[in-house]
Amino acid sequence: MSFVRSALDRYNHASGPFEEIQLLRCFARTRSGRLVGAAIGHTWGTSCELGQLWVDESHRRQGIGAELLRCFEAEARSRGSDLIYLDTFSFQAPEFYDAQGYEIACQFGGLPDGAVLFILQKALRAPAGGGPEAERYVR
């Protein structure tokens, strides 16, 4: 397994500027500092991938996820990204992303229990500022 990964990494790094990939993270914390949410991904060129968006169960449905996503998008824009993409399963959050303006780029069915994997995208417009690691304090 590590041989295959190493071989693919060598090929990929010789084919594109992978050293330009930059980590992008936004966090939500309580005033006491406890982590209650995070958006984590990376930017590369003019695109951005959101890899994980998580909000602690006890803090969901309070707007934290939407705020984290806005923070993430703003930082991506400030880095020159004009497209953001992500994947989510039908049992995760496709409705949440739809409400935030994301569109289905493609979908895959045939998964256990009727689950569907969605690849979503959103065009990023008007530049906005942000920091590399923005944080929000919640109650």
Same domain? 25 vs 72: yes
pTM: 0.83
Looking at the structure of the chain, the number of domains it has is 2
Same domain? 92 vs 118: yes
Sort strands 103-108 and 117-123 into parallel, antiparallel or unpaired: antiparallel
Q: In which residue are the tokens 């949410």 written?
A: 37
Same domain? 14 vs 29: yes
- Summarised one tens digit per residue, pLDDT across range 33-53 is 999 999 999 999 999 999 999
Structural domain including 34 reads 1-47+55-80+129-139
Same domain? 40 vs 73: yes
Asked if 87 and 120 count as a contact pair (C-beta separation under 8 A), the reply is yes
- Summarised one tens digit per residue, pLDDT across range 86-104 is 999 999 999 999 999 999 9
Tokens of 98: 């739809």
Same domain? 87 vs 74: no
CATH classification of the domain holding 115: 3.40.630.30
Distance of CA 7 to the CA centre of its chain: 27
